[in-house]
């Protein structure tokens, strides 16, 4: 394993350290991610288990029904408003962080584009990435 993934919000009130390797890194073009980011997509790293996550600080949580129909919980800093992580009711073992919340965002290497069916022509993502109309399974 490489060094831990560390990051947090802009003001430092929320910090995380994750000792696992991500199982998926994606750019998501669903409408929720567009609204959250204020642009055409969100960029994420998903980790396989919460036991590898050390979390400091208190996030504010907001539940939303995702394009998939299941509930996802967005966690953001109540002080600076930075989005930090997400959890999913349908996959409670996953812990997903926003790529921009990493201390070293260069560690993010997208593997796919999800919800490409919702993408906008002006949101130019890497054309070499596989694109999925929804979240791939398996």
Question: Are the beta carbons of 59 and 50 closer than 8 angstroms?
Answer: no
Contacts of 129 (CB under 8 A, 6+ apart): 27, 110, 111, 112, 113
Structure confidence by residue, pLDDT tens digits, 45-97: 999 989 999 999 999 999 998 777 789 999 999 999 999 999 999 999 999 99
Look at residue 130 and tell me if it is in a domain.
Answer: no
87 assigned to some structural domain: yes
Cβ neighbour number for residue 10 with a 10 Å cutoff = 14
Q: What is the pLDDT of residues 108-127, one digit of tens each?
A: 999 999 999 999 999 999 99
CATH number at 29 reads 2.170.150.70
Residue 45 lies in a domain: yes
């Amino acid at each position: 394993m490489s060094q831990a993934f560390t990051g947090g919000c802009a003001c430092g009130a929320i910090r995380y350290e994750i000792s696992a390797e991500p199982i998926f890194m994606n750019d998501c073009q669903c409408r929720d991610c567009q609204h959250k980011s204020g642009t055409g997509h969100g960029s994420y790293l998903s980790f396989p288990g919460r036991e590898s996550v050390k979390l400091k600080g208190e996030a504010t949580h907001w539940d939303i029904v995702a394009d998939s129909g299941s509930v996802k919980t967005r966690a953001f800093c109540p002080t600076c408003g930075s989005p930090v992580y997400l959890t999913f009711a349908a996959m409670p073992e996953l812990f997903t962080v926003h790529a921009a919340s990493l201390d070293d965002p260069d560690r993010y290497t997208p593997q796919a584009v999800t919800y490409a069916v919702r993408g906008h022509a002006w949101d130019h993502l890497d054309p070499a990435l596989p694109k999925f109309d929804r979240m791939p399974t398996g």
